[in-house]
Amino acid sequence: MRFSLFVHMERWDEQVTHRQLFENLTELTLMAEAGGFSTVWIGEHHAMEYTISPSPMPLLANLAARTSTIRLGAGTIIAPFWHPLRVAGECALLDVISNGRMEVGLARGAYQIEFDRMADGLAASDGGKHLRELVPAVRELWQGDYAHDGEIWQFPTSTSVPKPVQQPTPPMWIAARDPASHDFAVANGCNVMVTPLMKGDEEVVALKEKFDTAVTNHPEVERPDLMVLRHTHVHSTDDPEGWRPAAAGISRFYRTFDAWFGNKTTPVNGFLEPSPESKFEGRPEFELESLHRTAMIGTPDEVIERLREYEDLGIDEFSFWIDNSLTHEEKRASLELFIKEVVPAFA
């Protein structure tokens, strides 16, 4: 099982500049590369200070120039916000810049608050049809001349310029949860990325079962890879209470996610206050003790033990999701400990 880093610039107040956050993200990526991580993943979000990435492409292009081995993952491009020609061309250009290190993840999108601003109020739940039309169109554009007459997009004969270095295509990933999305991904030869969010490892097992069912249903397709994305924080054995700040930080992150996802309040200059803890009374998944069990939080030995179970389950890639509302110094210390004491157990 290989490891990757999923990272954004996180801004929780105006005391830290965007430039400093950019430098922090670069430092974490360079650490991950030196530590043997396979890929760095950066997603797409709009007008949100707590996950800053209006496009993963310029960040990844900069990282391409700063790195030499780590792969560069756009994870994920939100299908309804893009045109197939832009996806094909920009991803191919990143593949050229990085000399064949580009990976592209695609998703239907989740936040209605973004759809209200980026897609004329399209229901976020309807983004799947954009995804299903986008994936094959991009593949065709990478191969050569192609005209498209679909439900969402129509354009005359065109092609991707430039063409990607990786042939026939760079690896493509689909963010999947329900059985239909797993089936679509596998049927189209795409790798699958899943996140159990605040659920326990039983959810990882359930998601793997959906993936396995899709693989069984498509014997004509070579088995793709499966990646699990999970909030991760490693603390020293000398600090038995080290899990508490991490669990509190991840709780804050998820309560902020809830505020944005709920789409009930107008943001102020890109900020929304986390939903209050009182809202989640009777919701044990938000309690710190629960997050200690569900997020990948623990000492190196505790994390190794859980990751062994993921490896035995057949997970191909574990993505260290470092967004958690903690300080850069806390994130760096956690990643250092993971690289020093966890990664060698899987060498």
Quote the pLDDT of residue 217.
98
- 77-107 pLDDT tens trace: 999 999 999 999 999 999 999 999 999 999 9
pLDDT along the chain (347 residues), means of 10: 98 96 98 98 98 97 98 96 98 98 97 97 96 98 98 98 96 97 98 96 98 98 98 97 98 97 96 96 93 98 98 98 98 98 97
State whether the Cα torsion 276-278-280-283 is positive or negative: positive
Question: What distance in Å separates the CA atoms of residue 45 and residue 78, rounded to the nearest whole number?
Answer: 9
For the chain, the farthest-separated pair of C-alpha atoms sits apart, in whole angstroms, at 63
Looking at residue 131, its pLDDT comes to 97
Q: pTM of this prediction?
A: 0.97
The CA-atom distances, in angstroms, between 149 and each of 71, 77, 116, 160, 295 are 33, 22, 26, 17, 44
